[in-house]
Amino acid sequence: KIVVLDGYTLNPGDISWEELEKMGQLTVYDRTKPEEVLERIKTADVVYTNKTPLTKEVLEVCRSIKFIGVLATGYNIVDVEAAKTLGIKVANIPSYGTAAVAQFAIALLLELCHHVGEHSDCVKRGDWSSSKDWCFWNHPLTELAGKTMGVIGFGRIGQETARIAQALGMKILAYDAYQRTELETETCRYAELDELLVRSDVITLHCPLFPSTKGIINKETIAKMKDGVLIINDSRGPLIVEEDLRDALNSGKVGGAAVDVVSTEPIRMDNPLLEAKNVIITPHIAWAPRESRQRLMNIAADNLKCFLEG
């Protein structure tokens, strides 16, 4: 018995659930509210979740669950320690969306540098340009070649983002808990966090959400950054203390920020970033091109197959 708690993110009708259907009796719910989780999975053998949390309290009651598939790379929504104690295997999907998420980080960066959407809106409003009020005075453009990108978390997505940034002429400083010196080149080297903060023109976050990374962008770390630094986050919202980023954006210390993820999703209307200047916020969609979603589905089925085959 296979239950998918929140298939809506995967299934606007353009990808197939066929591989999972072959392996059991499949029920796909569009979304599941926290109070509905228990009822829906209490007799399931296999549970898939994308964003619906699976807590210790729920897992302790649902004793038939043998396998949890997280339909995502970040697996912080599942209490993995509790699952381990209960003998439930948990599998995430690490590499389905590396290209998509890196591409999105670069898209966010380019939008901060070029404001394509704003300029297009100006034109559509009939405002092509005029000598006293060129729209680029309000939305100045920034060149990236020769500038330095600091990449916090130099894993799959961090490395791919750095590869594209180097093609734009940027130099890379990488910070990671584990260093692989073979990844260093003439234009890319590891640095301590403090050096990265001080020297980067752009800082992009690609580390997982762990206790050690929660709030890594805060008042103190922002104070060390260059004035006008640009910050990108398409990893996890709680990596940033949003009140501190709001203050730094509004004071101009941070020149712009673009985030695909926020501390509480869906975003709350009292999220501090909604009061910030020069911020772009997208609704956690970096992973979602059709190609990535189909890859995600195929790997999810492969993971279950491996589990069933021992």
Q: Is 265 one of the annotated active-site residues of the chain?
A: yes
Q: Which is nearer to ligand NAD, 97 or 256 (CB)?
A: 97
Residue partners of 104: CB distance under 8 A and separation at least 6:
234, 260, 282, 285, 286
Interface with ligand NAD, residue 46, by CB under 6 A: no
Interface with ligand NAD, residue 171, by CB under 6 A: no
Stretch binding ligand NAD (CB under 6 A), from 44-52, 111-119, 138-146, 233-241: 233-241
Interface with ligand NAD, residue 48, by CB under 6 A: no
Nearest-approach distance from CB 128 to ligand NAD, in angstroms = 35
Q: Among residues 23, 24, 208, 253, which is the contact residue for ligand NAD, using CB under 6 A? A: 208
Interface with ligand NAD, residue 213, by CB under 6 A: yes
Q: Which is nearer to ligand NAD, 236 or 295 (CB)?
A: 236
Provide the β-strand partners of residue 204: 151, 232
Q: For residue 162, which of 181, 177, 183, 182 has the smallest C-alpha distance? A: 183
Report d(CA 205, CA 151) in Å as an integer.
Answer: 6
**How buried is 247 (Cβ within 10 angstroms: 0-12 exposed, 13-18 middle, 19+ buried)?**
middle
Q: Count other C-beta atoms under 10 Å from residue 89's C-beta.
A: 16
Nearest-approach distance from CB 154 to ligand NAD, in angstroms = 5
The answer to whether the CB of 202 falls within 8 A of the CB of 232 is yes
- Contacts with ligand NAD in 126-165 (CB under 6 A)? 152-158
**69 φ, ψ (degrees, to nearest 5):** -105, 120
Stretch binding ligand NAD (CB under 6 A), from 1-9, 106-114, 232-240, 296-304: 232-240
Interface with ligand NAD, residue 207, by CB under 6 A: yes
Helix/strand/coil (H/E/C) assignment for every residue in 277-304: CCEEECCCCCCCCHHHHHHHHHHHHHHH
Q: Among residues 5, 71, 101, 109, which is the contact residue for ligand NAD, using CB under 6 A? A: 101
Report d(CA 235, CA 216) in Å as an integer.
Answer: 12
Q: x/- string (CB under 6 A) for ligand NAD, residues 275-304?
A: ---------x-xx-----------------
Most distant pair of Cα atoms in the chain: their distance? 70
Binding region for ligand NAD (CB under 6 A): 73-74, 94, 97-98, 101, 152-158, 175-178, 206-210, 212-213, 234-236, 260-261, 284, 286-287
| Residues with active-site annotation | 236, 265, 284
